[in-house]
Structure 1
Amino acid sequence: ALATAGKNDRQAVRDALAGIPRYDGVTGIMQFREGSGDPVKSAVILKIRDGKFTWFANAKP
């Protein structure tokens, strides 16, 4: 989404994410509701600490 947005701008990244029709990710299928752009399922947010991925939060729709 960052590459598609082309800039580090909140609205541009949101629009790029909403434009993804379906994504088969590590935690399952991620897709967004047409019209609202809201995710259908929760997303897992990870952070990198000491070079390792660690859980940070779940973002609920």
Structure 2
Amino acid sequence: MSEQSPVHTKSTKLKKALTWMSETLRNQPEKKRQVVLQEAELRFDLTPMECDFLDKHFSTT
């Protein structure tokens, strides 16, 4: 990963979103990953760069 990757930033929102996504998918395995991903992007008001990162690394397509 490059130094410009959102993971290497101090993005509290991204860290919270990743934690929330993990807990949601663990507690509600029937929920589709893409739906959880989109909800996290809105819930945590992520930047376009953070949304792109999540889409690239966590979407199922």
TM over 0.5: no
TM-score normalised over the length of structure 1: 0.29
Rg larger for: 1
TM-score normalised over the length of structure 2: 0.29
Compare the two structures and name the one with the higher helix fraction: 2
Compare the two structures and name the one with the higher strand fraction: 1
